[in-house]
Chain A
Amino acid sequence: MLIVLSVHGQDVDLAYHPDDVRVDVGDTFTILDLPNRTDGVVAQVIELAALEHDGVKGETIQRILEERMDETHIVYDRERGMGLLRGIKVAHAKVRREVRDGQWQPWTGYVPSRHAAVERVETEDLIRLVAPMPRVPLDPFLRVGHVPFPVGGHELDKITIVAAAKGRGKSHWMKVVTERFARKGVGCIVFDINGEYTGLPAAHVLRWGENFVPRLAQTGPGLLLSVIRSLCPPQPGSPTESLLESRLKTLFRANRDQGDVDLTITWLRGQSWGGAGDLVQRAIDSRLRQIEDAGLFWTSSAPRDAYTDLWVLHEETVKGRPLVFDLSLLESRMQATLVNALIRHIEAICERETRSGRGAYPVCVFEEAHEFLSASAVEKIVGRCRHLGLSQFYISLNPSGIPPFVLRACDNLILLGLTNAEDIRALARTTSLDAESLESLAVRVPAHHALLVGNLTGGYPVLAAVDDLPAGVPRSGVTRSVWDRFDA
């Protein structure tokens, strides 16, 4: 039995004895005014504590005094149940919903009296009452207790932040989601900074310069310019720089107009750079040769099985095959160069899907996006995500590094265990969940569980277990150690 100890605004304290009832963080209870039990609140436990009461210090001192004696004889004792009070606990809960005439509604400030009945809300009822009915249900991968938590594509759409400390299952979560998306024919585009997603079933794993050599005609002059600036930057303000920026676009246009000539580095090297002196011409040519030697863009000598066409790759995702851009072997400037260029292309894909009416919009997964995505690029795709139809997952163990506009635009927050106070505070901006609840729940997420808040849960914080990966999906991304081989 739980009894209302105190009520103040959104905060409710419930007293109980653990021998009578088990209470865990995340449990939900209705608190309904007696005698009618039709009006009240729905409260979720966010913290447990021992009951503080008057005299506990005196009692403790007395116990210590007794125990420090070499011998203590209680020769006559007719006091019973003296330990019961010490066993009483307090469940600190937050009001999540209001109950009016038996119906759950958004909370408008109603507080129950202490003369109230406290009853547990069973998991099935909680899910039924808070979780939206999925229009396009995914195969289940979340459970609350033993009850599957329904997840729908629409509910997991747009901006999702997945945050956790090291080794707490961020990659696992994302792999499960991409696998479920793939089953529905929605392939994710994963920008994989650590090479953790390369084992996803049926994924195209793309490594720039190895099996991914995009055609310049598709990428446009922007990517080439970015590569030049990354690998062999001209001196700022030099004639080389200004000529590259002005002439490159002209040459790209000219090649397009010609129509039947492949736009390659080789072709560019053979073009006139328009009035440039011999020195400048040689400077430009040496840079182009360097990039050509790096094999980053398609040439006629590129491997036959290399992926070159971004539109074709997109069609693969429409069939449900994930695209994994393995960025782990690229140095950081090149990571940023590639991803920012690909983002521009992804935007173009979205525009095309809208014009065609097909609506097969990509889903992008960014792991530690702040390391390789420019702030302007992020702001653009986040700000336009609803217009573009572009869903995005941001995975991070450093949420305080996530750009503020991403936090503000967040539709779903997935927390798999955080202890850093600064990170938790940063995430408080993502949801309508109060900061105290987030701080309390974030540090109490059990292993292999996630705290879900957002469209997915109707705004109600839900602690759910995440299913294992399907058989055959490698657990790459698991923390490895030199000492693992000594385990028995």
Chain B
Amino acid sequence: MHTELADSLARIADTCAPPDMPSLSAFVAARHDDWNNPNQEDDWEVSEYGGSDAPSNDDQGGGQGAAEQSEMLDDRFRNFNGTSVATVCAVDCGMATLGSTEHGVVVACRAASTTDAPSGWSGAILARTGPVHLRMCDKARILHRLGADLGEPTFYVTLDGATPVAKSSVAATPKLLADRLRAYVERLMQVHALSQLPFGAVLMLDGAMTTRSRDTPTAWWTSLANTAAERGVSLVAVSKQSEMVISDRPVAFWLEEGQGPGYRCLTHRLRAEQPARADRILGNLYAVRWGASGPALRVDVLAAGGRDDRGALDAVAASVSVRGGMPEPLVRAHALAYIPRPAFQMLQADAVVTCGLDPRQDEQLGPGVYGFSAGRFK
């Protein structure tokens, strides 16, 4: 049941595994404070390597007629009004930078999907890569593998004969290469989670559903949308840190006129003001407030399974509780994808053995040496 996911992760791990080295790589451990879980935020730079044309929203699944779309895209504020519950699944992926080496960076990823069914059943699927040494000299080979698995082998690289060559500005630094890996692992878990869901379920994603971005081939989004449509699973993508501005107003403030939990569809406005941008979004754009108060969040909705966007949002609101303004499945997925400090420390220790590293002391030169600015060190 989970073989494909495991195989994909094993394959990429093997791709990243360095060949036998004549000596150990010098390794400087990172601090757990450097932990980050970057979201796929608004990525407005059209990739120079966009690949195939991005599908337009008209090509998305759902099959609503024009009249229904017009009603659905009305930008009035609406409170949630759902009585129909659904199976809700959320996916998240976190990554910890374990340390830097002379060749690149050592990271570890944890991906998690959590599912809650109306019957009360709950389940989780977890994937943990362990320490992965990403060497810059392997960048092209790794990126080629990532692109291939995401549906577009030459998304990140060009081919010189059979030899992949990384495109300029793709993963220019070890950190950016690690970001690609994290995004990849998250995509794998999203696809896998989708494959486990029943008809009528909702799959919640962390981050925007934006095509023609630098981290995910559009072909992958197309495949995800099609699969979701076939399986009757609605996609609801929540962006926690969107800075999108529409009509001179950030998305976070687009629900000030309304009270309580609710939403507004902003696709119409965005299309009128920034049509190219609107075309990149998979599904429709909403400002959503899940809880009783607080700022709104950007949410991209691609409904399926006999639901429209409103139905998908209402189903989520009716099915899950809200914690800190976020639907709880997302919060839980985030918690399960987090690498706590004890695990972080063990991963660092394991990395030394697994990746053949030679730990070096990292001098903590702080205010005592450089004064309050602390120089270039934190």
Residues 82-106 of A at the B interface (beta carbon under 8 Å): 82, 84-86
Q: Are A82 and B343 within 8 A (Cβ)?
A: yes
* CB pair B350 A66 closer than 8 Å: no
Let me know if B129 and A72 touch, CB within 8 A: no
Task: Say which residue of B114, B121, B129 sits within 8 Å of A78 (CB atoms).
Answer: B129
Interface string of B115-130 (1 = CB under 8 A from A): 0000001111111111
A72 touching B126 by the CB < 8 A rule? yes
CB-nearest residue of chain B to A73: B125
Binary contact track B4-17/A, C-beta < 8 Å → 1, others 0: 01100110010000
User: Which range holds the interface residue count of chain A?
Assistant: 20 to 34
Q: Is the CB of A53 within 8 A of B341?
A: yes
Please encode chain A, from 53 to 69, with 1 for each CB lying within 8 Å of some chain B CB and 0 for all others: 11110110110011011
A58 to B354 Cα, complex, angstroms: 25
Residues of A within 8 A of B122 (CB): 68-71
Is the pair B129, A69 in contact by a Cβ cutoff of 8 Å? no
Q: Is A471 an interface residue (CB 8 A)?
A: no
A9 proximal to B (CB < 8 A): no
Query: How many angstroms from the CA of A24 to the CA of B293 in the assembled complex?
Result: 55
Q: Once the chains bind, are B32 and A74 in contact (CB under 8 Å)? A: no
A85 and B6 form a contact (CB under 8 A): no
Distance between Cα atoms of A86 and B346 in the complex (Å) = 10
Question: Among B73-81, B139-147, B330-338, which stretch is in contact with chain A?
Answer: B330-338
Inter-subunit contact A62/B5 (CB<8 Å):
no
Given A85-B346, A86-B342: A54 and B32 within 8 A (CB)? yes
Bound form: Cα–Cα A54–B343 in Å? 11
Q: Are B341 and A58 in contact (CB under 8 A)?
A: yes
Determine if B51 is an interface residue (Cβ-Cβ < 8 Å).
no
Answer whether residue B91 sits at the interface, using C-beta atoms and an 8 A cutoff.
Answer: no
* A21 surroundings in chain B (CB, below 8 A): none
Residues of B within 8 A of A61 (CB): 335
- A487: interface (CB < 8 Å): no
Asked if B345 is at the interface (CB within 8 A of a chain A CB), the reply is: yes
Query: Which B residues are CB-close (under 8 A) to A79?
Result: 108, 128, 130, 343, 346-347, 350
Residues on A with beta carbons closer than 8 Å to the beta carbon of B125: 72-73, 75
From A70, A71, A77, A86, contact of B130 by CB (8 A): A77
A486 at the interface (CB under 8 A from B): no
User: Which A residues lie within 8 Å of B336 (CB)?
Assistant: 62, 65-66
User: From residue A469, how far is it (CB to closest CB) to chain B in Å?
Assistant: 51
Is A483 interfacial (CB-CB < 8 Å)? no
Query: B249 in the interface, Cβ–Cβ < 8 Å?
Result: no
Q: Give chain A residues whose Cβ lies under 8 Å from the Cβ of B354.
A: 80
Q: Is A81 an interface position by the 8 A CB rule?
A: yes
Is the beta-carbon distance between A55 and B123 smaller than 8 angstroms? no
Give Cα distance in the complex from A69 to B112, angstroms: 13
Contact count band on B: 35 or more
Residues in A neighbouring B128, C-beta threshold 8 A: 74, 76-79
Find out whether the CB atom of A75 lies under 8 angstroms from the CB atom of B345: no
Q: Tell me, in angstroms, the Cα distance from A53 to B344 when the chains sit together.
A: 12
Q: How far is the CA of A13 from the CA of B123 in the complex (A)?
A: 42
A34 to B71 Cα, complex, angstroms: 78
- With an 8 A cutoff between CB atoms, is B2 at the interface? yes
Q: Please give the distance in Å from B34's CB to the nearest CB on chain A.
A: 14
User: Would A80 and B350 count as touching, CB distance under 8 A?
Assistant: yes
Contact of B121 among A65, A70, A81, A85 (CB under 8 A): A70
Chain A nearest Cβ from B192, distance in angstroms: 8
Q: Which residues of B contact A53 (CB under 8 A)?
A: 341-342, 345
Select A62's contact among B121, B192, B335, beta carbons within 8 Å. Answer: B335
CA distance A65 to B350 in the complex (A): 25
From A56, A68, A72, A81, give the contact of B346 (CB < 8 A): A81
- Inter-chain contacts of B332 with A (CB < 8 A): 65
Beta-carbon contact of B342 and A73 below 8 Å: no
Q: Is B270 an interface residue, CB under 8 A from the partner?
A: no
State in angstroms the CA–CA spacing of A75 and B13 once bound together. Answer: 14
Chain B residues with Cβ below 8 Å from A71 are 121-124
- A386 → B minimal CB distance (Å): 58
A76 to B125, CA, bound (A): 9
B349 lies within 8 A of chain A by Cβ: yes
| Closest A residue to B10 using CB positions | A76
Closest chain-B Cβ to A267's Cβ sits at a distance in Å of 88
Q: How far apart are the CA atoms of A149 and B250 in the complex, in Å?
A: 80
| Complex alpha-carbon distance, A275 and B340, angstroms | 98
- Known contacts A61-B335, A73-B2; A55/B340 CB under 8 A: yes
A75 near B2 with CB under 8 A, answer yes
Contact (Cβ within 8 A) B338 A62: yes
Question: Known contacts being A72-B123, A75-B2, A79-B347, is A65 close to B335, with CB within 8 Å?
Answer: yes
**A43 vs B92: C-alpha distance when bound (angstroms):** 49
Inter-subunit contact B347/A74 (CB<8 Å): no
Q: Complex: how many Å from CA A330 to CA B340?
A: 69
Contact partners of A81 in chain B: CB under 8 A: 346, 349-350
Please name all residues of chain A whose beta carbon is closer than 8 Å to the beta carbon of B346 when the two chains form the complex. Answer: 79-82, 84-85
Return the chain A residue nearest B110 by Cβ. A79
CA distance in complex: A61, B323 (Å): 15
What chain B residues lie within 8 Å of A58 (beta carbons)? 338, 340-341
Can you name the residue of chain B whose Cβ is closest to the Cβ of A75?
B2
Complexed CA–CA distance, A76 and B111 (Å): 10
> How many whole Å from B336's CB to the nearest CB in chain A?
6
Whose C-beta in chain A lies nearest to the C-beta of B131? Answer: A78
Which residues of the other chain, A, contact B343 by a CB distance below 8 angstroms? Answer: 55, 59, 79, 82, 85
27 A-B pairs with C-beta separation under 8 A: A53-B345, A55-B344, A59-B343, A62-B336, A62-B340, A66-B124, A69-B124, A71-B121, A73-B2, A73-B123, A73-B124, A76-B10, A76-B128, A76-B129, A77-B128, A78-B13, A78-B131, A80-B346, A80-B350, A80-B354, A81-B349, A81-B350, A84-B346, A85-B342, A85-B345, A85-B346, A86-B342
Known interface pairs A59-B340, A71-B123; 16 further A-B residue pairs with C-beta atoms within 8 A, sorted by A's residue number: A58-B338, A62-B338, A66-B124, A66-B336, A68-B122, A69-B114, A69-B122, A70-B122, A71-B121, A75-B126, A76-B2, A76-B5, A76-B10, A78-B129, A79-B128, A85-B345
Considering the complex of A and B, which 4 residue pairs feature the smallest CB-CB distances, nearest first? A55-B341, A78-B130, A75-B2, A58-B340
